[in-house]
Amino acid sequence: MVTEKQRKARAAFVKKYAKKKSEYRSFTEARKFARSLGFKKREEWIKFYRAGNLPIDIPKVPQRTYKKDWKNWGDFLGTGYISTNYRKYRSLEEATKFARNLGLKDGKYYKRYYESGKIPRDIPKCPWAVYSKEWKGMGDFLGTGFMAAKYRKFRSFEDQRIFARSLKLDSQTEWQKFCKSGKKPADIHASPRRAFINNGWTNWGDFLGNIGKIANQNRVFWSYEKANAFLIKLGVENRTDFERKYKSGKIPKDIPRGPERVYNKHGMWKSWGDFLGTGRIANQNIMWPSAKKARIEIKKIAKDVFGGKPFSEQDWKDAHDEGKIPKSLPKYLTAIYNPEVRKKRRSAERRRKK
């Protein structure tokens, strides 16, 4: 254990002789002392001198004091380990020859094999960093045949599109399945959208040659006014009729199948009645009287229409259709005034808008 007196003596020595290297032991003697400690790494040496255990005639930073004789910490501590920045590696050709004989699949397996200590220290753990100028990828280094996209030469966008169209695929999903099947040539991008987003790419319909199947977010639709004029001329009666005519092909693909979503993004959507030109306002958009006022009105009407007798919701609907109920009251009472039904309808409407 170093005493306080010894610590002070060392401090006085360092202060007096810090710049006089001749006061330290020779490099050979200092190295002999360092090796006798049995340290395996530099951190142990630092911890040792910070604890005040280092003799006063041995420097804390030997690589600075013994610049001419210094090699590395592995040599100084006797471990034989050479730091990567001091290590001399085999040429890329020699390292590649060794690596290919290992039969490893990819970089992960190479890393594990290296850490097991089975790879010579003159072959780097990170070959891409050491051989950066000549590097062609781990596939080339290990001989697997795989080459990362950044090292490959690909066909032009036009040539890749010609190839894609020759496959006659129906969707992006089918393209992805094709790529995973192993049949895709190496010079064709698996993600053409990402590769050519600023160099020719428009949409999957254009790339695959099936324009009629372009996703809604990539399609250019008619304006709201043009679609509205077409549907009025066609005589579409309501939303159900719109769906029926859309499926039959009477409504062109230039009009979106979900117009409320597409046109609502631009703030043009009002209602199906406005879109189809029927003037009909959906129940949820009509300003019905409050539940309290409706109960008073219904009580009065019940006396005249039903003779004050109890009536079912179907009785109310029939009377509404016959014109016995004023239009200021809804035909579907439960849908408008039942809190649970209204809550479910609002949730469904929010999901639909998303």
- What span, in angstroms and rounded, lies between the C-alpha atoms of 253 and 223? 13
- Among residues 218, 223, 215, 299, the alpha carbon closest in space to that of 259 is found at 223
Residue ranges of domains in the chain: 4-77, 92-151, 157-215, 224-281, 288-353
pLDDT, mean over the chain: 81
Stretch 31-41: mean pLDDT, rounded?
Answer: 89
* Cβ 188 vs Cβ 175: under 8 Å: no
Residues 114, 118, 119, 125, Cα dihedral to 10°: 10
Q: What confidence score (pLDDT) does residue 151 get?
A: 67
Number of H helices, E strands in the chain: 21, 0
The tokens describing 52, both together, are: 């005040």
Return the structure tokens found at 342. Answer: 């209204």
- Is it the case that residue 280 has pLDDT exceeding 60? no
335: left (phi over 0), alpha (psi -120 to 50) or beta: alpha
Q: Using the 8-state DSSP alphabet, how is residue 10 labeled? A: H
pLDDT in tens, 155-175: 898 999 999 999 988 888 889
User: What pLDDT sits at residue 10?
Assistant: 67
Residue 34 C-alpha from the chain's centroid: 51
CB 27 within 8 A of CB 57: no
pLDDT, one tens digit per residue, over 204-228 is 888 888 765 555 555 678 888 889 8
Specify the higher pLDDT residue, 130 or 7.
130
Q: How confident is the model at residue 20 (pLDDT cuts 50, 70, 90)?
A: low
Cα–Cα distance measured from residue 206 to residue 218, given in angstroms and rounded to the nearest whole number:
10
> Considering just the CA atoms, what is the radius of gyration of the chain in Å?
41
Is the pLDDT assigned to residue 343 strictly greater than 80? no
Q: How far is CA 234 from the centre of its chain?
A: 45
DSSP 1-54: ---HHHHHHHHHHHHHHTT-GGGSPPHHHHHHHHHHTT--SHHHHHHHHHTT-S
Q: How is residue 37 annotated by DSSP?
A: T
Which of the pair, 140 or 54, is modelled with greater confidence? 54
Q: Are 63 and 13 in contact (CB under 8 A)?
A: no
pLDDT of residue 279: 64
User: pLDDT tier at 73 (50, 70, 90 boundaries)?
Assistant: confident
Q: Which two tokens stand for residue 288?
A: 């019905």
Give the span between the Cα atoms of 206 and 195, in whole angstroms: 15
Question: According to DSSP H, which parts of 223-338 are helical?
Answer: 224-234, 239-248, 259-264, 272-276, 291-305, 313-321, 333-337
Taking CA 130 as the corner, what is the angle to CA 127 and CA 136, rounded to the nearest 5 degrees? Answer: 55
Pull the structure tokens for residue 230: 């077409």
pLDDT at 19: 45
Highest mean pLDDT (candidates 61-70, 81-90, 316-325): 61-70
Contact indicator for 185, 166 with CB cutoff of 8 Å: no
- Give the span between the Cα atoms of 289 and 42, in whole angstroms: 84
Alpha carbon distances (Å) from 183 to 157, 189, 209, 340? 19, 12, 20, 54
Position with higher pLDDT, 146 vs 53: 53
Question: Model confidence over 229-272: pLDDT tens digits?
Answer: 899 888 888 888 899 998 888 999 888 888 888 888 777 888 88
Mean pLDDT along residues 135-147: 79
Please tell me which residue, 208 or 354, carries the higher pLDDT value: 208
Q: Which residue has the higher pLDDT, 288 or 134?
A: 134
Residues in Cβ contact with 107 at an 8 Å cutoff, skipping those fewer than 6 apart: 138, 142
Q: How far is the C-alpha of 328 from the C-alpha of 270, rounded, in Å?
A: 21
* pLDDT at residue 169, as a whole number: 87
Lowest mean pLDDT segment, chosen from 95-104, 106-115, 213-222: 213-222
224-to-34, 198, 276 alpha-carbon distances in Å: 84, 30, 11
pLDDT number for residue 219: 65
Q: Measured between alpha carbons, how far is 163 from 166 in angstroms, rounded to an integer? A: 5
Summarize the confidence of residues 27-45 as an average pLDDT.
89
- Is the pLDDT confidence value at 183 over 70? yes
26 φψ region: left (φ > 0), alpha (ψ -120 to 50), beta (else): beta
More confident residue, 132 or 26: 26
